[in-house]
Amino acid sequence: MTQEDTTDFGYQRVPVGEKAGRVRRVFDSVANKYDIMNDAMSLGIHRVWKRMTVELAHLREGQRVLDLATGTGDMALRLARKVGPRGLVIASDINAAMLTEGRDHCIDRGIVGNLVYVQADAEYLPFPDGYFDCAVMAFGLRNVTHKENALSSIYKSLKPGGQVLILEFSKPAKPIRPLYDAYSHNALPLLGKLIVNDADSYRYLAESIRMHPDQETLKSMMVRAGFEHCDYINMSAGIVALHRGFKL
């Protein structure tokens, strides 16, 4: 089997055709306690990162937004409130269990009229070209098998003048890397074991962060996909980065 026939799944190399299924099983396992784990892992700071992402999108009422890797719907909720009843948010995820959690989460909070749920692979989005004003992907790109395909698919789905915002774990500043590595490789699997009885899934998530492109590499990938005026903002000393690009 050649290098081109395999891809990363954490630190493992697996056949390309297997990664999506393996990722799906990870999120099937943790879906019902995913929000609890996010709060535990980040001490709640993930909410600040997501709030900043939505604010920097500068959305207007009536716009159409694609929320990729919507998960349990916390980003979809924020986006739906920004675009208002005349707008539309399509909350999309490849994982049916996560999508169900997200739908129930949003319905419980009274957001129903401007939210639609679609199970879809980010690499092959089933939407018309030029449909969305904005696409947002929070903590999902690192799980995609072919990230360049996902970026191209997002690009096609945007209107001219549209923008993409990608919030993802990235490469932290050098002084904090040893502490961050120790925390993620030791504490995350332990939290996974204690909270969801699944250390392996959170070991994969920690490893997937290390295998994800760093800030400059992801920026270059966005440029190759056609996005212009690409840039990024480091958050929490680079533990997370928000990348933004435009389709002109």
Which domains are seen in the chain, by residue range? 3-246 (3.40.50.150)
**How confident is the model at residue 41, as a pLDDT?**
82
Q: Are strands 228-235 and 6-9 parallel, antiparallel or unpaired?
A: unpaired
At 167 the pLDDT is 97
Pairing of the two strands 6-9 and 12-15: antiparallel
pLDDT band at 3 (very low <50, low <70, confident <90, very high): low
Rounded to an integer, the average pLDDT of 17-40 is 80
Question: Do residues 102 and 76 lie in contact, with contact meaning Cβ atoms separated by under 8 Å?
Answer: yes
Asked whether the predicted pLDDT for residue 28 surpasses 60, the reply is yes
State the chain's mean pLDDT as an integer: 92
Give the tens place of pLDDT for each residue, 176-217.
999 999 998 898 888 888 888 888 888 988 899 899 999 999
Distances (CA, A) of 189 to 6, 11, 193, 247: 25, 15, 6, 39
pLDDT average, residue stretch 143-159 = 97
Q: How far is CA 16 from CA 3, 210, 218, 233, in A?
A: 10, 19, 20, 31
Collapsed DSSP state (helix, strand, coil) of residue 135: strand
pLDDT digits (tens, 9 = 90+) for 63-87: 999 999 999 899 999 999 999 999 9
| Two structure tokens written together for 13 | 């190399």
Apex 112 CA angle, 95 and 74, nearest 5: 50
Give the mean model confidence (pLDDT) for residues 96-108. 87
